[in-house]
Structures are given as structure tokens and as C-alpha cells.
């Protein structure tokens, strides 16, 4: 692969083109789009964890002037198909509005449509719903027991997924190991909680028979799922991709909102819009992230070398299945982290409970898994009495071992983990950092160092789908790009997705500019609607640098071949003898300019090579570089193609009286191969770390014993502000991927994948002298202060 | 009821319910959609506008309360169509955003800070933006943008106040 220095535009310090519209407030978000005659939706939500719906009386609401309709789940369910489940769980039926019974607090029971949102909210308060409260289950462990109350009685239990994978000679490796230990860690229920809530606007054209949908969406197969649910042909749904999405990081998958609004738009013959308010977003937007208990047994030698691991991951999916259980599948592609662990038993369990529905969150289950693996490695280091960096070094896959096949069937593409760690520690000044920690401790403060080494699998395919659902035989997970050089010679690139801050317009302009050797700023990037689009799978699985960047590059290469063929005819030489350079084509000292080529392509059919189509256009539909086969019978599969690496070092200081942690120093070593735009990658990494800090110290959707969600506003669900996020130093390293066009790997989840492990490790290092250990995230100030106070009190009591 | 709003130097009268927030008045009545709705309870700062030059949350004010006050929204900052203010340009230079949703509030907050304190320390910048939540960036490039804007402001011939207002 090319070294970064060979590039003209890739990896250079260029502005992100999308930013110009955002800084002037000219982003085009869903709430900015209004249609003539548009109606607004408000929701009637259940206050019960579980209840039968005895009756719904909407007469008072309907009597209000300006109210157009109130619909319930029975009406909508009769006119639509249940929403799609990832697993083969046909009796876990999910509809946008509850049918007959509600299964979590906040679940939508009825929708009210009115002239304004305020009126709709007023009317929603007048809808009278009679409930019969039912038994419920909140806790995942309890839900996993056969005696628990099933959330979906027709399904027979709360278990959505319960599968044990055995990869390698686990029992043999355990028997041969000198040491073993067990641990349990818990990842709390949090999410990405974008500042823009989800919104959707739908409009039905009864004469054209097409449903126009605009939404703040980040979702594969969105148009397909709307069409299926509303029993429309797929070309009867037109999703507009030119909507800016105000943050997503995985969760903006408002399929239930979209089906509801699509139905209402058809029924009422008017455009209908639903924008969640913050409460709706948090309690019933169906956008909570994984909530997961890990039980790990690890077998290792006294020198710290880890031989085998048994991991049970129990995930609380909430009230409906959706795609949530797949978040137990994706981490299989990096189940040993960056380590040479020889065998793994992985027991993946997903259960339903009476909590809000889980949706995809940044990393798709990888960050919780990395937190579990890294906490395990810290424990091993502690057990053998070795430095935790040294234990990692002894277990890391070595540079010369790539491509490296892990026990669960994925081959890691490339990496140089030792080099990244050495470089990062040299930057940090490891000895000085340890000395600083010790000096802080000597001053009576609690101080600790946390580290984390982990992977970001990227280039998302969907191999976890056939792995966890045998009825799903999908191996295709493509992304597409179309290029057109117009009659005046300017270049236009079409991409076929929405974006939520990833800078895809900059990405494709850079990739095409690089390939065609023309200034990316002169390239126009457009987003046709879904009816005019090539197939794609949207920006999930840290895939767009690899897949959209790759598709754009390949489309440009195809275009270049056409250009060369046209010019070669004019030059009277074979295309192989012609040389393309900066938009012109050369043969010896003769040249055909870009303008001449455009003229021939668009106006001089008589000069076109035989068989060539007029115009200058190319398309490329790119399949993921790996994951081309279905899983083996013993559950091995190639997951994502590329593997970025990150190494975090954190120094935390805690005032023992207040319990408030301060992140005194934060350094990350990052290797995502060739960086396409340094600003974008930096932003992803810094933002991911901030998000990880939130997950570790602040953020949680808390439910009480009655199934009521207690964190319903930003007063209770705390997100990191500029005060909580420290200055972060980034140390770069570049190990190009052999599988991608520029050597790039993914970076959309960077930072987030290791920050929780590192920050939690730092806090545990700080409180270790007190004998206090935190095994559950988030570690909030209150819990920290209480634990420290208790420990000090006990020491005082036990003092002579 | 009639409410008179002076926004970006222009006074316009709207017919508003008493319960209408300034945020909804700006977005729905005046179609100034750069002012964004985030939490509607005064925490996230996405709806930040300047009121008589100071950052304020448009979701916590009723439109009637803003009658007669000088309101500046993001639409009032660019010197001319197609141009950027110095702060806006610095935000582009450091890529101080991703999805752009919190950006108008951040830019307005930065303008207010630099008007009052043309050479802020890092701590002062962090303090100033700590009422605006950004979910994308982790704040690093936002702080850098404001530092860069301050440096450019110091190096420019234009009077600091005029440039940042």
C-alpha cells in the first residue's frame, strides 16, 4: 500500500466542507423542514412497566378544535406489518403503538395528530386510557430465570438469544494453565443521546402513489423496512437523504416513528411530522444502548501469559427485540482484543425485560466487551504482581503475525501494537507519570493510572446476522458511489445515504480528487433520494472511510479508464500506452486536455472509441473486503475486515473528601491506518473519548424497582460538558490496511472503545490502596465518595 | 397577543400565544432555524442566542419576555451572504464540529466571550462553553477554534468589539 506521503490530498490538512453550512446555522435538519399543510404528532405514553390496555377513550381529545385524529395500536397494527426483528423471534411482535398491552414505562399507546405540536400535546393529555397493571421484570438476571414473568407471553420466555460458542481447546488450555481467576463487570444502561432528537416528516402522494419520507435517520435498509411495514412496494417509498442529522452515533433508527407517521400521512392526506421531545426521546425513543453483565473466567500462567477465556455476556435488550441482540454478535470479531488468547468460550445471552428498547450504539457492543477484556487483563496483572503494561506486552499479537486468525474465525488485517504502545509511553513519559501518581498519593490524594489497549473492528459487514440467525443468509453489505462529469467538465459525485457528522461529502471529494488528481474543492457532492440511489448500507460499523471511500475511489478509477480510452483514440495510441495526469492524458509529448475529453464525451460521438457510451459517467458498487462466506457449523465467521488499534493512558486524581475524579492527563495512541482527513479522525477520537468518559462516570438510564425510568431529563441523565473532558493528547501511528484502497481503516468509534476501560482502570488503581474496587459502570461521584468514605471509616475503626 | 421582536437588528411583530417560547417564536414564526431545539429545559445550550449581547437560552424564555430586547441569532453573525465571521471561520479551520447541531449555540457563545474577553485563557474558554453540550467533538477542537479566533482577533486591525459583536 501507499505510504501517506505519496498522497496528494489524502491525509493532508484540508477543511471539512460540511462545516461552512453548519457555522452559519444553515444545516438542513428535520425540524427545519416544513411542508405546506403539515400536521403534528404527540404521543400518549404508558406510565406502567407492564399493563393490559383495557380501553382508550379519545372523545375529549377529538372534540378539541385543531385535532385531526387519534389512533391506537389496534388500528395501526391492522394496517401494517410488525417491525422487523434481527433474530428469528416471530412471537416477539413489535408495533409502533402498543397493541393490547404495554411492556415498558413510556411505551406509546396512542398518537394524536393536530395543527400544531402544542395542540397535539394538549389533546394527548385528554386521551383517557384504562390500564390493568401486570407483573413485570426489570433485572436481566431475573429475566433469564425460567420462572420470570415473560414480557411476551407468546414467546414463552424472556430469552431472545442463549448460545454458547466454543472456539479452540478451552478445557485443555484451562487445565494446562498455572493460574485462574474470575470476575464480573457490569456495563450500565446508557446511550449516545444526540442533542437533536429523532424526527420524521412523511407526505403521501395519492396520485403518484409514493410516500416521501424525510428523517434524521442513520439506518441500513430504512426504506425497505418502511415499505415492508406499510405494505408498499419499495419504489413507493422515497427517502430523502439530503437531511442533515444532528448526531446519531448509531441510535437514530426511528423505524417505529417512521411507520407511524407514514401511516398517518396516508390516512389523513396531509404531510405529518413527528419530532420527539426530550422526554419522548429518552424514555420511549427506543434508543438505549447495551446494558450488560460480563462473567469471565480466565486461565493464565504465572508470567502473565493468558491462555484461554470463558466469557458470559448477559444483555438486557428491553421490551422488544429489534437489532439489539446482534450487539452481542459483533464483538465476536474481536473477542480476544489485541491478544494471543488461544481459545474462548463465549456464552451470549439476550433477554427481554420491561425496560425501553435497546438500539445500536457506537461500537455495536464492542466498547462494553473491550471494557470487560481490559478489566480482566488488569486483574491478571494484579494477580501475577506484574506491571499492567508489561502483561499486555506479553500477550499482544506481534507485528510479524499479521494477518492473524483469532479463535472465533476473524483474521485481523494488520497492526503493530507494540510500536503504538512504545510510542505512546515515550510521549507520556511513563516513569514520570508513575512518579507523579505516587507523589499525589504521598500528598494524601487518591491517584491512579489506567490503561487500555483495544481494537476498533471496521468496514462493517453483517456477518453477525447469519451467525446468530440461521434464517438470515446475508453476506452482501455493499456501498455505492456514482460519478458524473457534466457537459462543462465539472465533476459531480452522488452518495446514497444521510450523514450525521461523519463528513462523508469531504470523504468522497477527497477520495475522488485523489484518484482523478483534481482539487477536491471543485467536486460537487450530492445526495439523491432513495429512488434514484444505488444500493448501500448507511454509515454503520465504522465502515464509510473504507466502503464509501473505496466505492468513490473505484468509481473514479473506472471513470479514468474511460477518459484514457477516449484520449488514446485521439492520440492514436493504445490506452495502455497513454498516461493520465492531473486530468489530462499524455502520449509522449502529445496531450489531450480535460476540456477536449469532455467535448469528445459529450459532443463528438464521431470521435468516441467504438462501443463507448456518450457522456462521462461511472458507478461502483463495492462489497466489503471480507465476510464473504456464511459462518461455519461451529460458529466461526470472518467479521469486519479492518482493525484499528488504540492505546489509552489516563492519570486520575480523586479528592478523598469529595470523591470527584479529575482526569489530570489523557493520552491516546491511535492507529487507524492511512488517515483520509486528519481533522475528522481527530474529532472522532476526541468525541469518542468524551463519550466514553460519560459512560464511565456520568451517564445511566436508571430504573427503580417499579420499572419507572428515573433519568428523564438532562438534569438526571448527565452528559460530559467541557469541564468534564480533559485536554487529550493524541499520538499517531500508521499501519496501513492491506485490504483498502488507501490503507485506511475505520475511526468512527475510536476513543469510545477504550476510554471506559482506561478511566475505570485509573479509578480502580486510585482506590486500590483503600481496598475499594468498582466493577460496575457508571462510577458516579456519589458512589465513589460513599465507597471511599466507608473504606476510610473502616480503617479508622480497625486502627488500634 | 402581539409581540415585537428585534432580531439581528430588524424588528418584527408576531402574533403569539403567551406560552410560546422564544425558541419556537424564532424557529416557527420568524423561520430562523439556526436556533436549535435540544432539551427544552435549559441544559444543552443548543438554543443559545444573544440577548443584549449575552448568551441566553431561548427555550427558557417566553417570546413575550423578549419584547423590546436586542436578540442576535446565528443568522446575524455572517458579515454578508457567503462570508463568515472570524469566529465562524476559525470553527471551520479547526473542524470544531461534526453534526453541526450544537454549533450555532457554540459560535454565539464564543462571540460573546471574545467580545468581553478578547484574550481568554483555556480555562476561561472552557468555562464559557461549559453550558453548551456537544456530543460529537469532546470539545477539543472547539477550544482550539476559540483560541485561534482570539489570536486572529489580536492580530487583526479591526477593533475587537466590532469584529466579535
Question: Which residues touch A170 (CB under 8 Å, ≥6 apart)?
Answer: A308, A310, A343, A344, A345
Please report whether residue B160 resides in a domain: yes
Tell whether the model's pLDDT for residue A261 goes beyond 90.
yes
pLDDT band for position A6 (cuts 50, 70, 90): confident
Looking at the structure, tell me whether residues B7 and B64 fall in a common domain: yes
Question: Which of chain A's residues have a Cβ under 8 Å away from the Cβ of B43?
Answer: 713-715
By C-alpha distance, the chain A residue nearest B93 is A15
Residue B155 binned pLDDT confidence (cut-offs 50, 70, 90): confident
Beta-sheet strand order (sheet of A584-587): A579-581, A584-587, A590-592
Say yes or no: B16 and B69 in one domain: yes
User: Listing from the earlier edge strand, what are the strands of the sheet with A661-671?
Assistant: A446-458, A642-654, A661-671, A728-732
From the list B37, B91, B101, the residue facing A19 with the nearest CB is B91
CB crowding A299-335: b at 16 or more within 10 Å, else e: bbeeebbbbbbbbbbbbbbbbbbbbbbbbbbbbbbbb
H or E stretch covering A311 = strand A306-318
Contacts of B17 in chain A (CB under 8 A): 118
Give B157→chain A minimum CA distance, Å.
23
Domain count, chain B: 2
Q: Do A244 and B139 touch (CB under 8 A)?
A: no
pLDDT tens figures, A76-114:
999 999 999 999 999 999 999 999 999 999 999 999 999
List A residues 153-212 in contact with B (Cβ-Cβ < 8 A): 192-197
Closest-CA distance, A5 to chain B, in angstroms, reads: 22
- Of the pLDDT bands very low, low, confident and very high (cuts 50, 70, 90), residue A593 is very high
DSSP A454-521: EEEEES---THHHHH-TT-------EEEEEEE-TTS-EEEE--S-BSSS-HHHHHHHHHHHHHTS-GG
Q: pLDDT tens digits, residue range A311-327? A: 999 999 999 998 999 99
- Judge if B47 and B117 occupy the same domain: no
Residue B81, in any domain of the structure? no
B126/A682 Cβ within 8 A:
no
B64 and B95 share one domain: no
- Same domain for B55 and B116, yes or no, is no
Q: Judge if B92 and B145 occupy the same domain.
A: yes
* CATH code of residue B33: 3.10.20.30
- For cell 483534481, the residue is A518
Same domain membership, residue B106 and residue B54: no
* B86-100 mean pLDDT: 98
Q: How confident is the model at residue B163 (pLDDT cuts 50, 70, 90)?
A: very low
What does the pLDDT average to over A262-288?
Answer: 97
Does any domain span residue B19? yes
Given B25, B42, B76, the domain boundary residue is: B76
Q: Name all domains of chain A by residue range, CATH numbers in brackets.
A: 38-134+198-275 (3.90.1170.50), 292-463+630-796 (3.30.365.10), 478-622 (3.30.365.10)
Domain termination residue (choose one: B76, B99, B118): B76
pLDDT of residue A777: 98
Residues of A in contact with B27 (CB under 8 A): 31-32
The predicted-structure confidence for A31-51, as pLDDT tens digits, reads as follows 999 999 999 999 999 999 999
Nearest CA in chain B to A194: B135
- Identify the pLDDT of residue B156: 78
Nearest-CB residue to A714 (from B44, B77, B97) = B44
Are the C-beta atoms of A447 and A516 separated by less than 8 Å? no
**pLDDT of residue A5 exceeding 90:** no
Q: Is B124 on the interface with A (CB under 8 A)?
A: no
Task: Write out pLDDT tens, residues A53-68.
Answer: 999 999 999 999 999 9
Please judge whether A501 and B100 are an interchain contact, meaning their C-beta atoms are less than 8 angstroms apart: yes
A647-662 pLDDT tens trace = 999 999 999 988 999 9
Nearest CA in chain A to B143: A722
| B94 and B136, same domain (yes or no) | yes
Q: Does B160 contact chain A (CB < 8 Å)? A: no
Residue in B with minimal Cα distance to A727: B140
Q: Do A23 and B103 touch (CB under 8 A)?
A: yes
Q: How far is A670 from chain B (nearest CA, A)?
A: 16
Q: Residue B12 belongs to what domain range? A: 2-76
Domain boundary among B24, B57, B76: B76
**Per-residue pLDDT, A344:** 98
Query: What pLDDT sits at residue A797?
Result: 77
Considering the domain architecture, whether residues B35 and B90 belong to the same structural domain is answered as: no
At residue B162, does pLDDT exceed 50?
Answer: no
Q: Does A218 touch chain B (CB under 8 A)?
A: no
Q: What is the CATH number of the domain that holds B91?
A: 1.10.150.120
Answer yes or no: is pLDDT of A1 > 80.
Answer: no
Judge whether residue B165 has pLDDT over 60.
Answer: no
Give how far B68 is from chain A: nearest CA, Å: 24
Asked if the model's pLDDT at residue B164 lies above 80, the reply is: no
Name the residue in chain A with its Cα closest to that of B138: A687
Residue numbers in A near B102 (CB within 8 A) = 195
Question: What is the band of A800 on the pLDDT scale with cuts at 50, 70, 90?
Answer: low
Mutation test of the interface with chain B: which of A246, A693, A718, choosing the one with the most B Cβ atoms within 10 A? Answer: A246
pLDDT tens for A344-369 read 999 999 999 999 999 999 999 999 99
Q: pLDDT tens, A660-678?
A: 999 999 999 999 999 999 9
Out of B75, B103, B135, name the one closest to residue A193 (CB): B135
Q: Search chain B and give the residue with CA nearest A715.
A: B43
Q: Do B98 and B56 belong to one domain?
A: no
Question: Do B147 and B123 belong to one domain?
Answer: yes
Note whether B98 and B159 are same-domain residues. Answer: yes
* Contacts (Cβ under 8 Å, ≥6 apart) of B35: A25, B23, B26, B27, B47, B48, B49, B58, B73, B74, B104
Rounded to 10°, the helix B140-155/B86-94 angle is 140
Count A/B contacts: CB-CB distance under 8 Å: 185
Chain A residues with CB-CB distance to B132 below 8 A? 721-722
Mean pLDDT of all residues belonging to chain A: 97
Residue B29 lies in a domain: yes
Residue contact A687–B35, C-beta within 8 A:
no
Average confidence (pLDDT) over A588-616 = 97
* B41 in contact with chain A, both atoms CB, cutoff 8 A: yes
- pLDDT bucket at A798, cuts 50 / 70 / 90: confident
CB contact under 8 A, B138 and A719: no
Cell reading at A1:
500500500
**pLDDT value for A3:** 47
Task: State whether A27 and B100 contact (CB < 8 Å).
Answer: yes
Amino acid at each position: 500500500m501507499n505510504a501517506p506521503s505519496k498522497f496528494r490530498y489524502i491525509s493532508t490538512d484540508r477543511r471539512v466542507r460540511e462545516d461552512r453550512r453548519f457555522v452559519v446555522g444553515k444545516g438542513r435538519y428535520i425540524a427545519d423542514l416544513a411542508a405546506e399543510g403539515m400536521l403534528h404528532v404527540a404521543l400518549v405514553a404508558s406510565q406502567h412497566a407492564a399493563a393490559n390496555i383495557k380501553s382508550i377513550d379519545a372523545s375529549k381529545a377529538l372534540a378539541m378544535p385543531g385535532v385531526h385524529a387519534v389512533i391506537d395500536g389496534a388500528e395501526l397494527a391492522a394496517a401494517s406489518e410488525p417491525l422487523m426483528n434481527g433474530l428469528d423471534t416471530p412471537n416477539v411482535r413489535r408495533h409502533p403503538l402498543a397493541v393490547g398491552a404495554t411492556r415498558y414505562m413510556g411505551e406509546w399507546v396512542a398518537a394524536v395528530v393536530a395543527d400544531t405540536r402544542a395542540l397535539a400535546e394538549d389533546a394527548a393529555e385528554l386521551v383517557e386510557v384504562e390500564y390493568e397493571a401486570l407483573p413485570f421484570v426489570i433485572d436481566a438476571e431475573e429475566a433469564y430465570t425460567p420462572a420470570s414473568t415473560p414480557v411476551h407471553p407468546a414467546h414463552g420466555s424472556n430469552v431472545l438469544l442463549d448460545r454458547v460458542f466454543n472456539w479452540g481447546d478451552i478445557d485443555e488450555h484451562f487445565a494446562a494453565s498455572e493460574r485462574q481467576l474470575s470476575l464480573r463487570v457490569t456495563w450500565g444502561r446508557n446511550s449516545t443521546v444526540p442533542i437533536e432528537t429523532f424526527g420524521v416528516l412523511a407526505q403521501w402522494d395519492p396520485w403518484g402513489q409514493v410516500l416521501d419520507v424525510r428523517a434524521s435517520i442513520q439506518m441500513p435498509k430504512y426504506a425497505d423496512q418502511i415499505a415492508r411495514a406499510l405494505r408498499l412496494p419499495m419504489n413507493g417509498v422515497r427517502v430523502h437523504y439530503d437531511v442533515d442529522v444532528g448526531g446519531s452515533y448509531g441510535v437514530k433508527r426511528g423505524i417505529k416513528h417512521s411507520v407511524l407517521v407514514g401511516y398517518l400521512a396516508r390516512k389523513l392526506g396531509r404531510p405529518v411530522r413527528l419530532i420527539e421531545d426530550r422526554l419522548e426521546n429518552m424514555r420511549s425513543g427506543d434508543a438505549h444502548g447495551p446494558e450488560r453483565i460480563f462473567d469471565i473466567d480466565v486461565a493464565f500462567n504465572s508470567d502473565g501469559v493468558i491462555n484461554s477465556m470463558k466469557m458470559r455476556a448477559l444483555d438486557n435488550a428491553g421490551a422488544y427485540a429489534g437489532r439489539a441482540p446482534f450487539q452481542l454478535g459483533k464483538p465476536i470479531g474481536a473477542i480476544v482484543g489485541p491478544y494471543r488468547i488461544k481459545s474462548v468460550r463465549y456464552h451470549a445471552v439476550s433477554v427481554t425485560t420491561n425496560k425501553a428498547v435497546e438500539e445500536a450504539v457506537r461500537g455495536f457492543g464492542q466498547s462494553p466487551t473491550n471494557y470487560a477484556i481490559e478489566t480482566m487483563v488488569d486483574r491478571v496483572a494484579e494477580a501475577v504482581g506484574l506491571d499492567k503494561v508489561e502483561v499486555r506486552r506479553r500477550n499482544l499479537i506481534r507485528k510479524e503475525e499479521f494477518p492473524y486468525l483469532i479463535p472465533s474465525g476473524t483474521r485481523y488485517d494488520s497492526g503493530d501494537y507494540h510500536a503504538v504502545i512504545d510510542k505512546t509511553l515515550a510521549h507520556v513519559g511513563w516513569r514520570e507519570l508513575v512518579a507523579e501518581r505516587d507523589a499525589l498519593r504521598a500528598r494524601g490524594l487518591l491517584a491512579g493510572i489506567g490503561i487500555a489497549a483495544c481494537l476498533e473492528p471496521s468496514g462493517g459487514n453483517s456477518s453477525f446476522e447469519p451467525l446468530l440467525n440461521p434464517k438470515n443468509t446475508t453476506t452482501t453489505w455493499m456501498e455505492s458511489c456514482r460519478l458524473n462529469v457534466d457537459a462543462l467538465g465539472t465533476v459531480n459525485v452522488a452518495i446514497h445515504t444521510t450523514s450525521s457528522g461523519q463528513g462523508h461529502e469531504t470523504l468522497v471529494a477527497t477520495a475522488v480528487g485523489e484518484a482523478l488528481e483534481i482539487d477536491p474543492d471543485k467536486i460537487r457532492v450530492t445526495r439523491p433520494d432513495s429512488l434514484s440511489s444505488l444500493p448501500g448500507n448507511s454509515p454503520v460499523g465504522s465502515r464509510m472511510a473504507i466502503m464509501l471511500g473505496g466505492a468513490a475511489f473505484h468509481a473514479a478509477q473506472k471513470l479514468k479508464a474511460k477518459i484514457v480510452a477516449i484520449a488514446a483514440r485521439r492520440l492514436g495510441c493504445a490506452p495502455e500506452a497513454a498516461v493520465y495526469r492531473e486530468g489530462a492524458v499524455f502520449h509522449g509529448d502529445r496531450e489531450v486536455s480535460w476540456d477536449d475529453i469532455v467535448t469528445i464525451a459529450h459532443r463528438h460521438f464521431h470521435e468516441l472509441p467504438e462501443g463507448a457510451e456518450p457522456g462521462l459517467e461511472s458507478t461502483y458498487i463495492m462489497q466489503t473486503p471480507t465476510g464473504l462466506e456464511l459462518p461455519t457449523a461451529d460458529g466461526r465467521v470472518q467479521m469486519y475486515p479492518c482493525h484499528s488499534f488504540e492505546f489509552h493512558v489516563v492519570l486520575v486524581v480523586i479528592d478523598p473528601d469529595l470523591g470527584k475524579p479529575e482526569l489530570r492527563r489523557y493520552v491516546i495512541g491511535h492507529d487507524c491506518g492511512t488517515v483520509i482527513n486528519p481533522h475528522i479522525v481527530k474529532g472522532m477520537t476526541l468525541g469518542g473519548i468524551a463519550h466514553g468518559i460519560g459512560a464511565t462516570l456520568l451517564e445511566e438510564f436508571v430504573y427503580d424497582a417499579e420499572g419507572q425510568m428515573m433519568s428523564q431529563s438532562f438534569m438526571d441523565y448527565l452528559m460530559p460538558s467541557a469541564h468534564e473532558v480533559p485536554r487529550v493528547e493524541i499520538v499517531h501511528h500508521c499501519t496501513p490496511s492491506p485490504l483498502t484502497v488507501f490503507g485506511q481503516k475505520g475511526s468512527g468509534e475510536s476513543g469510545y472503545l477504550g476510554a471506559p476501560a482506561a478511566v475505570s482502570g485509573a479509578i480502580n488503581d486510585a482506590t486500590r490502596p483503600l481496598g475499594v474496587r468498582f466493577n460496575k459502570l457508571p462510577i458516579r461521584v456519589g458512589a465513589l465518595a460513599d465507597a471511599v468514605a466507608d473504606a476510610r471509616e473502616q480503617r479508622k475503626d480497625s486502627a488500634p | 397577543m402581539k409581540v415585537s421582536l428585534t432580531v439581528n437588528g430588524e424588528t418584527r411583530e408576531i402574533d403569539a400565544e403567551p406560552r410560546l417560547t422564544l425558541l419556537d417564536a424564532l424557529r416557527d414564526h420568524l423561520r430562523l432555524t439556526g436556533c436549535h431545539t435540544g432539551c427544552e429545559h435549559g441544559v444543552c445550550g443548543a438554543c443559545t442566542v444573544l440577548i443584549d449581547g449575552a448568551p441566553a437560552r431561548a427555550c427558557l424564555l417566553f417570546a413575550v419576555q423578549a419584547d423590546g430586547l436586542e436578540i442576535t441569532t446565528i443568522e446575524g453573525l455572517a458579515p454578508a451572504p457567503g462570508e463568515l465571521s472570524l469566529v465562524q471561520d476559525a470553527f471551520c479551520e479547526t473542524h470544531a464540529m461534526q453534526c453541526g447541531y450544537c454549533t450555532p449555540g457554540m459560535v454565539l457563545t464564543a462571540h460573546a466571550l471574545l467580545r468581553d474577553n478578547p484574550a481568554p485563557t483555556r480555562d476561561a474558554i472552557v468555562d464559557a462553553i461549559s453550558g453548551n453540550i456537544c456530543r460529537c467533538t469532546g470539545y477539543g477542537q472547539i477550544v482550539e477554534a476559540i483560541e485561534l479566533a482570539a489570536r486572529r482577533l489580536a492580530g487583526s486591525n479591526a477593533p475587537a468589539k466590532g469584529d466579535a459583536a
